[in-house]
Amino acid sequence: MRSGLLAGVLTLCTTGVALARSPCDDLSPEARAVADRVLTTAHPYDVCDDTLAACLKSHPDAPLVRRLADWVCRKASRGETAASITRSLEKRALSMMRPGKVHAIALDQAPVAGCPKAAVVVAAYVCARCPFCTKLIPVLHREVTSGRLAGRVALVFRLFPIKSHEHSTEANLAVAAAQRLGKGWEYLLRAYRGFDVFSPAVLSDWAADVGLDRAAFEAATRDPAVRDAVVASKKEGIRNGVDATPTLFLNGRQWQGDLDADTVLDAIEEEAEAVSR
């Protein structure tokens, strides 16, 4: 049996309503104490001006309040502290509060994964040799093409080479060449799968792996227009305040929150719900 403040709040919220089981239902006593501290002190950034716990009582059917409470509980279940979760919520708020600053991104020059006409566009500035990108970008791609975000989100990438990433120039030129030949996403994902075995010698092999003609690919990598496209993408990112990869933009607003997949996917779902209302 659940006990404590959190249990009482959630029992009230679910009375007479058939809801999916909440992450808050199965917390250990330690994690529940952490979640309670956040829920009774932190505030949602929309819907209700009170604490999350009070808003769960006064607005039990508000999707955002429920979403944020579940997210807090998931973070608590992973061992995060109340202070860390509160900071994460503050950063999430900076990204999700409207209207927010909308940045100019050349979406017409970016390959699209997911639903091209979706009301939610997630733009990711990436480097083909970024170790953090290898963890997040394939997950986002999977979720927008065949997962929980399918049909609701368009995901695009813009190249942002990082000098400190070894072989960044060669790798990003290769992705841009593949993009010119219609296989940008396929090549980028192939580069991330082969991240740990990278060498310039494998670039043409990866092109063949994704169905490109080797000769055409190699010619494209030498095309000055391809190099110019990479430079233009990097300059655009700098204008938009990008200084690291991955950097995400949700409908043009820079995502300043945590970059773990659970948080990012949850925020994108929140954005999809907001634009559908």
pLDDT tens for each residue of 134-169 = 999 999 999 999 999 999 999 999 999 999 999 999
CA separation for the pair 79, 31 (Å, rounded): 7
Q: Looking at residues 236-242, what average pLDDT do you find?
A: 98
DSSP code for 24: G
Cα separation, 176 vs 112, in Å, equals 14
Please answer whether residues 157 and 124 qualify as being in contact, where contact means their C-beta atoms are separated by less than 8 angstroms: yes
Among 71-80, 93-102, 249-258, the minimum mean pLDDT is found in 93-102
pLDDT (tens digit, 9 = 90+) per residue, 166-210?
Answer: 999 999 999 999 999 999 999 999 999 999 999 999 999 999 999
Two tokens, residue 219:
């010619």
- What angle separates helix 4-14 from helix 29-39, to the nearest 10 degrees? 70
Residue found under tokens 């009301």: 119
Give burial (CB, 10 Å; 0-12/13-18/19+) of 42.
buried
CB distance 221 to 171 below 8 Å? no
Cβ partners under 8 Å of residue 106, min gap 6 = 158, 232, 233, 236
Q: Hey, is 32 helix, strand or coil?
A: helix
Q: Where do the structural domains in the chain lie, given as residue ranges?
A: 4-97, 107-270
pLDDT of res. 14: 30
Superfamily (CATH H level) for 107-270: Glutaredoxin (3.40.30.10)
Written as six digits, the tokens of 225 are 């227009």
Give alpha helix (H) positions in 97-252.
131-146, 168-180, 184-193, 203-209, 214-221, 224-239
pLDDT value, residue 4: 39
DSSP state of 176: H
Taking CA atoms, 22 is separated from 34, 90, 96, 264, in Å, by 16, 22, 23, 19
Check: CB of residue 157 under 8 Å from CB of residue 184.
Answer: yes
Closest CA to 65 of 3, 11, 4, 13: 13
pLDDT over threshold 60, residue 5: no
User: Residue 99: its pLDDT value, please?
Assistant: 84
The helix (run of H) or strand (run of E) holding residue 114 is: strand 112-114
pLDDT of 3 > 90? The answer is no
3-state secondary structure of 192: helix
**pTM value surpassing 0.85:** yes
> pLDDT > 70: what percent of the chain?
93
Q: What is the pLDDT of residue 277?
A: 79
Question: Is 269 within 8 Å of 122 (Cβ atoms)?
Answer: no
